[in-house]
Amino acid sequence: MNYCSQSDLAEISQTNLIGLTDDAPSQGVVNTTILNTVIANASAEIDSYLANIYTVPFDPVPAAVKSMTVVVTCYRLFRRRLTPDEKNLFYEDYKRVVEFLKLANEGVMHIDQAPKRTFPQGSASTRATIYSGGIFNGGLINSM
């Protein structure tokens, strides 16, 4: 399910949208097949982060998810034309979206949707330790 549509991409002018999607410039129109593929890939990227916490695909689409999908789509459209990140107008916004999605995946941040699982208020983090009764020396365990 696509979380945004061409009409949601107000951040990109029609002229730029044509330039970013039309692989046959003589056509002079938005290639909706390419645009819909980029939107689908952006939606899938959002799902890949949020599927751990929420039931996806979203229906209806929360406003935050639509907004994030617009940013990811815009970023990907410029990347499609090999625009380096430092010149991509949406790179900083994209980085913020990815950071938010990572935190949402950990249950730290939330969107306006009920999560499919709950998180404990506090939890202890432990690391497994293996004891072999030997002395660790230079990467080898020597028995005494």
Q: With 60 as the cut, is the pLDDT of residue 130 above it?
A: no
Q: Is 140 helix (H, G, I), strand (E, B) or coil?
A: strand
pLDDT in tens, 48-80: 999 989 999 999 999 999 999 999 999 999 999
pLDDT of residue 142: 46
Domain boundaries, the chain: 6-119
- Partners of residue 129 on adjacent β-strands: none
The angle at the Cα of 79, spanning 75 to 82, to the nearest 5 degrees, equals 155
Q: Is 142 helix (H, G, I), strand (E, B) or coil?
A: strand
Q: With 60 as the cut, is the pLDDT of residue 9 above it?
A: yes
Q: With 70 as the cut, is the pLDDT of residue 112 above it?
A: yes
CA–CA dist 15, 141 (Å, integer): 66
